Amino acid sequence: MPLIDDNLNAYLNKLMPMVSGEIGKLQQKSYDEGVPIIPNDVVRLISVLLSIKKPKKILEIGCAVGFSSSFMSSYLQEGGYITTIERYPVMIEKAKANIKRLNLEHKINLIEGDANQVLKTLDDEFDVIFMDAGKGQYINILPEVYRLLKIGGIIIADDILQNGNVAKPKEEIVKRQRTIHYRLNDFLWEITHNDGLDTSILTIGDGVAICYKTKNIEGLIINEQKES
């Protein structure tokens, strides 16, 4: 759901071209079939960020059918690669087929499993980490994401404003969405107050956070706040 006025959203979507070529066809097919890939305004934002950053190594959490990893692979430095994580078997099969069809197997390494477990097993340093999986997990996986991110690297976290609900008091949130509401609020507090991150939050798509890592830090500060 867009966070901005419908007319403006429709105008911007019409204005900004979709991805071209075979990856663009996968983008359109995914929209047509209702696969929850990133909207085109987020595609454009990531395109600009990666053009500036020129990453060698990207970690993606939430691969789905492999659209965003395929798209991001065209911004890698020579010899660079993407590690992407997906836990849902139906998506894994589609992603594998798409990555193979697009001849990107040498650039994209798909790890099958739950990010909560997989992240702990990784021992690499990434220039960019794209968080695009279950938003209720973002606060839980943030320490591992932080560990795996280089100083000077960036986190791009998608879908963080819950259609604007993050800003509402808990009484206005339906009960089944309260846990995600608390967790997203904790995540947003942490990334905007943690000394090791310089963060901007944009109302593009359903909200995107961009965090620049300035230094290493030990643990999350929200936990210290809760304990004191």
Ligand X SMILES: C[S@@+](CC[C@H](N)C(=O)[O-])C[C@H]1O[C@@H](n2cnc3c(N)ncnc32)[C@H](O)[C@@H]1O
Where on the chain is the footprint of ligand X (CB under 6 A)? 36-38, 62, 64, 67-68, 85-88, 91, 114-116, 132-134, 137
Please state the closest distance from residue 103 (CB atom) to ligand X, in A: 18
Please state the closest distance from residue 146 (CB atom) to ligand X, in A: 17
Please state the closest distance from residue 158 (CB atom) to ligand X, in A: 7
Give the nearer residue to ligand X in terms of CB position, either 149 or 156: 156
Give the nearer residue to ligand X in terms of CB position, either 35 or 217: 35
Please state the closest distance from residue 131 (CB atom) to ligand X, in A: 9
Residue nearest to ligand X (CB): 62
Give the nearer residue to ligand X in terms of CB position, either 116 or 221: 116
| The residue to which tokens 């997990």 are assigned | 137
Look at the alpha carbons of 47, 83, 107, 132 in this order and tell me if their dihedral is positive or negative: negative
Please state the closest distance from residue 164 (CB atom) to ligand X, in A: 18
Residues 6+ apart with CB under 8 A from 180: 135, 136, 162
For residue 23, what are the CA distances in angstroms to 66, 68, 82, 187, 227? Answer: 10, 9, 16, 32, 47
The closest of 139, 132, 181 to 158, measured between CA atoms, is 132
Give the nearer residue to ligand X in terms of CB position, either 34 or 169: 34
Are the beta carbons of 211 and 199 closer than 8 angstroms? yes
Please state the closest distance from residue 34 (CB atom) to ligand X, in A: 12
Both tokens of 143, joined, read 């320490």
Give the nearer residue to ligand X in terms of CB position, either 157 or 166: 157
Residues 6+ apart with CB under 8 A from 226: none
Are the beta carbons of 185 and 169 closer than 8 angstroms? no
Give the nearer residue to ligand X in terms of CB position, either 38 or 188: 38
The closest of 155, 161, 200 to 2, measured between CA atoms, is 161
